Every structure is written in structure tokens, then in C-alpha cells.
Chain A
């Protein structure tokens, strides 16, 4: 069965520090992968999506970057965190082969920048 793993679950980082959040998918190959951010009490904002290794599309200009070094691995990074980077970060995937376009979300990382 397909599963998606995301870590860490919670993170408290000082302003100006680097960030690395990791997401991996199991049980499928060549998935579309997505990073979303959810500010407190708000909706889901698409940050990045990837259709294959090394292929990253950015949705909004920001302080973050994404990479896909392997087919089932998606990484969200920052060189220097800002207070506004705080939020709930969700990784999601869809099976490109399947007809179902619904996302499956990871369990999320709650990031607090202090």
C-alpha cells in the first residue's frame, strides 16, 4: 500500500536559521509531489510541486526552496528562516498513473520560527 512520511512533526527554529523538511512516499513510483503551507487558522497555500526528479515548480515567490533528489523524496529548505515562515507544512502526493486526482497528505510539520 502507498504511504507518505513527513518529518519532523514539530520544529521550533530561531529567525535566520536554516530549514530542511523531508517527505518520502512508499508504494508508488513517479508520483506528483506537492508542498503546501497552512498558516494558523487559514487555508492551504501551494508552495511547490514536482512531477519528477529535479523538476520543481514554484507557485509563489518566497524565502523557501524545494528539491527532489530521488523519485520518492521531496525536500523543503530555507537558508535563513523568517518569522513569517511559521506554519503547518504539508507534503502531498498523487499517483500520476491513477485516475484519482485526490491528494494524500502527510502528517505535517508544525514549524514555529521564534
Chain B
């Protein structure tokens, strides 16, 4: 079935460094790839997304890249700050039985140390 793999599971960086999280997906028909940030005990919140007709998208310190041929996409956070510490989830759209749903990766726990 459809699957999204996410790496690494944990990531520790120093404040000001960059962080990169990578995901691969199995469904070649996936056309929408959102990223969510989940702070401890809270709901996941959408931070950025990319559609299959675009290779890269940037929003201030965060950017996403998509390689449809290789079926992988990445989240890049530059100039990391302690408030970036959270669990990040990638997801890929999947259409089944005429309905859309999102398949999530297992998450990456990012720790930014001052």
C-alpha cells in the first residue's frame, strides 16, 4: 500500500545551524505534500506545503523541495531557533476509492540547542 518514509527520526542542531528532513513516498500519483509542526502536547499545524507542479517553495526560513522523479521531498530550516524545536511530519496525498487522504511519515523530533 501507500507509504511515506521520513528521516531522520531525531535531529539535534545548534541554534543558527540549518536542519534538513527528508521524506520519500511510494504513490507516483501523489500530487500534494504538506509539512506539519507539532509542539509537545499540541495539535499538528501546517507550516508549508508544495504541489507536484512546483519543484521548490520558500517561506522565510523554511523551504521545501520536491523531486517527483525520485519521489522524495525535503524540508529545510535555516538559521534555526530554539522555538523551532518540535516534531515535524511530512505527508503525501493519496487518492483511494475516489477520495483524498494524507499519508504521514513517522515524524522527526528536532531539538535546537541555544
- A102 touches B (CB below 8 Å): yes
The majority secondary structure among interface residues of chain B is strand
Cβ-defined contact, B46 with A102, below 8 A: yes
What count of chain A residues pass the 8 Å CB interface test? 21
**Contact size range, B:** 20 to 34
Cβ-defined contact, A90 with B101, below 8 A: no
Cβ-defined contact, B101 with A46, below 8 A: yes
Cβ-defined contact, A42 with B107, below 8 A: yes
Cβ-defined contact, A44 with B44, below 8 A: yes
Cβ-defined contact, B46 with A49, below 8 A: no
Q: A90-B44, A105-B43, A108-B43 are in contact. Are A44 and B101 (CB under 8 A)?
A: no
Against A, the Cβ 8 Å flags (1 = close, 0 = not) of B92-114 are 01000101111111110000000
**Cα–Cα, bound, A43→B5 (Å):** 11
Cβ-defined contact, B43 with A90, below 8 A: yes
A positions within 8 Å CB-CB of B: 32, 34, 42-44, 46, 49, 51, 57, 90, 94, 100-108, 110
Q: List 6 A-B contacts (CB under 8 A).
A: A44-B44, A44-B107, A46-B101, A90-B43, A102-B49, A110-B41
